[in-house]
Amino acid sequence: MAATYLHKMFGPGARALQQAAGSRDSYARMEAKAGAADLLTDREADFLAARDSFYMASVTEDGWPYVQHRGGPTGFLRRIAGNRIGFADYDGNRQYLSAANLNAEPRVALFLMDYPNRRRLKLIGRARVSIDPADLASVTTEGPEAERAFLIDVIGFDWNCPQHITRRFTEAEIAGATRPLLAELESLRARVAELEGQGS
């Protein structure tokens, strides 16, 4: 796991810096296990299914890095089959930056965060845009009709160390955590009102 990711990500410069820092030998052992791709498991598929957003980096036609936030209902980014993942793209601001980037250079990187549990997953792969009905059906959830499907064949992935991830919570997560406290507060208020009513 992550061997192919590291092998693809490490260039001569990174390897030289690792050598100078004394970490090259351990990374070289990891890279030696690289194959055609790091194979996605149920762990990665479950993580994807629990996300409601991620960041996707592509490269512009002039070679600039471009990072875009993607959001939707939980599970909108999904494993389709094997190492292929994808998501539906809907009518938006009609800039088509990511779609144009992928037409020129299919390599992408995805960054997925689970802030409450301090977990992050990085994925790299080759992506393409499709309007084929079968591809659209494979990524579409209930709701409006998708304009296109983004399909990504994952080449590698890496689970990062949680050390510097600051916990953050969504409004829904906070509401779920505080619901019992708010229910108890309402119960106590009702009891106080009842006792005050008995004293008058």
Name the one residue in this structure whose structure tokens are 């990085």.
Answer: 122
The alpha carbon of residue 16 and the mean position of all alpha carbons in its chain are separated, in whole angstroms, by 30
In angstroms, the first-to-last Cα distance of the chain is 70
Instruction: Please write the tens of the pLDDT for every residue from 88-104.
Output: 988 777 788 999 999 99
* Domain containing residue 102: 36-168
Give pLDDT, residue 79: 96
Tell whether 139 and 117 lie within a shared domain.
Answer: yes
Tell whether 112 and 200 lie within a shared domain.
Answer: no
Give pLDDT, residue 200: 65
Tell whether 93 and 28 lie within a shared domain.
Answer: no
Nearest to 89 by CA among 168, 163, 10, 150: 150
Helix residue ranges, H only, the chain: 3-9, 12-21, 24-31, 42-49, 97-104, 133-139, 171-199
The average confidence (pLDDT) of the chain is 90
Tell whether 152 and 174 lie within a shared domain.
Answer: no
Tell whether 78 and 154 lie within a shared domain.
Answer: yes
Strand order in the sheet with 107-114: 65-71, 53-59, 107-114, 119-130, 148-159, 84-89, 78-81
- Please state the pTM of the whole predicted model: 0.83
Instruction: Please write the tens of the pLDDT for every residue from 152-176.
Output: 999 999 998 787 788 888 888 888 8
Whole-number Å distance between alpha carbons of 108 and 155:
10
Give pLDDT, residue 105: 94
**pLDDT average, residue stretch 114-123:** 92
